[in-house]
Chain A
């Protein structure tokens, strides 16, 4: 298996952390992974994205030209990356942040996920990324959901570990969507 995933949105949405959670989960299941963040001029002005590759084999370039999966948390993000998504791939778009009109007009296979709003109802916007990862797991079986729990303990600062049960609830919610 070889999945190339671009996660894109604004700074502060947990875009880079979501990438790390995916990468650490991959390592925990014995796979190879790369995580490449936007760090250049793209970052100035608030946009954030990262390229994550999970593979059974050796990984070539960490920079993704054509993703299998695009996770979009803003409208500019989908405008920028949509056309590069592989024909066999799909997009996970946040329903409220990307906008339903935009999602309906997409020519790619696209899932409209009500992540940000549901996360808000749960009490923190950061849960949105876990909902997205849940949906990613459902569509790809990229790794086991319980592996994500172990990854969260590695990625999150100790003071955030008390939130992991809620993170896992968000993940489960995403898997139902």
Chain B
């Protein structure tokens, strides 16, 4: 039986990278994800892979672009301000349809902000971040086990669709230790990469990776292809977890650390006979809009709880589409909402909405 180990979230991501068969990591230090870069510096060379501490975040994402373009599984990791710097490269990778993985262990912003946990990069991750009509698959783990499993999955999804997949954790999930069970062996999704620039050996037509198309018709054809691919992902790859939503007095939508805090609130509320449900998106994009939309049939009030000033709540409102009131509660600056705070807000909202 695989053994359970006590490991930091950042290191669980590192172990997943190795076990997913990725041998190319390019990073640049930033708190609170440094344990991941550190882990890679030790274990990537041991696994026969490449670890490079690049001269900047921008260099690191472009190294990912290059390695992934040559058909390798490649990854970079950073935290919020560093992820902002990578956005140009992320857009290029999307445009060139190169499969790659980026980890964001979010801290709080804006600007250089602070090093404490945040979820204020939701807009950046799911609405664009870089320029152009593109989407990244965005995975939001909420414990050590998922940090591991979803990082492995990120590589598989990237290869399957030739898209960039972002793993969105936060400072608390990255820094905390938890029992994690590793599989003895991961079997990576196997796919031929005939498009990769691996050297033609003069035996085949040269491959060419680019995101530049000067001819409008050519570029529009690329965009149409991308949009078709995104539609398929929206159909096939939505992940979420629903807990106690049927007949709930109120349903909370929350992901990552906010969802974990909400689990405690559910118990606290039950002691006062308030039934709280939880809908936890695991893919932030594609957003589980059908599942969130159907919450309107299960409860009278919906609330989004985030470590932000209110970002995912916009997608919750779009999905619920006015059928039921959607409220928001969040804290910023690296402060975390306490269970009592959230419970008080639930009571306030219920008093207002339920006559």
Contacts and interface: CB of A to CB of B under 8 A. Distances in A.
Interface of A: 20, 23-24, 27, 32-37, 39-41, 58-63, 65, 154
A8 B82 CA distance: 32
A64 B5 CA distance: 22
Contacts, number: 67
Contacts of B334: 40
Interface of B: 4-6, 31-32, 114-116, 171-172, 175-179, 257, 260-264, 267, 334, 336, 338-340
A35 to B, nearest CB: 4
Nearest to A39: B175
A61 B257 contact: yes
A34 B260 CA distance: 12
A62 B264 contact: no
B263 A60 contact: yes
B1 to A, nearest CB: 12
B176 A40 contact: no
B135 to A, nearest CB: 30
Contacts of B31: 39
A24 B339 CA distance: 27
A134 B175 CA distance: 27
A27 B175 contact: no
A58 B264 CA distance: 10
Among B31, B257, B264, B267, residue most surrounded by chain A Cβ atoms (within 10 Å): B264
Given A24-B6, A62-B172, A40 B177 contact: no
Given A35-B178, A40-B116, 17 more contacts: A27-B6, A32-B179, A33-B178, A34-B177, A36-B175, A39-B115, A41-B114, A60-B263, A61-B257, A61-B261, A61-B339, A62-B178, A62-B260, A63-B261, A65-B338, A65-B339, A65-B340
B32 A39 contact: yes
A23 B177 contact: yes
Nearest to B257: A61
Contact of A20 (B6, B172, B338): B6
Given A24-B6, A35-B6, A65-B339, A60 B177 contact: no
A33 B115 contact: no
Contact of A61 (B32, B116, B179, B263): B263
B47 to A, nearest CB: 22
A61 B260 contact: yes
Contacts of A39: 31-32, 115, 171, 175
A40 B263 CA distance: 24
Nearest to B339: A65
Contacts of B263: 58, 60-61
Contacts of A60: 260-264, 267
Contact of B176 (A58, A62, A65, A154): A62
Contacts of A62: 172, 176, 178, 260
A34 B114 contact: no
A10 to B, nearest CB: 19
Nearest to B175: A39
Across the A-B interface, give the 7 residue pairs with the lowest CB-CB distance, nearest first: A60-B263, A35-B177, A60-B264, A61-B261, A36-B176, A61-B260, A40-B116
B176 A34 contact: yes
A63 B334 CA distance: 13
Contacts of A59: 178, 260
Nearest to A60: B263
Q: Which of A36, A37, A61 has the most CB atoms of chain B within a 10 A radius of its CB?
A: A61
B121 to A, nearest CB: 18
Nearest to B32: A39
17 contacts: A20-B177, A24-B6, A27-B4, A27-B6, A33-B177, A33-B178, A34-B176, A35-B6, A35-B177, A35-B178, A36-B176, A39-B115, A39-B171, A40-B115, A60-B264, A61-B264, A65-B340
A114 B32 CA distance: 36
Contacts of B115: 39-41
Contacts of A34: 176-178
B172 A63 contact: yes
A60 B31 CA distance: 24
A46 to B, nearest CB: 17
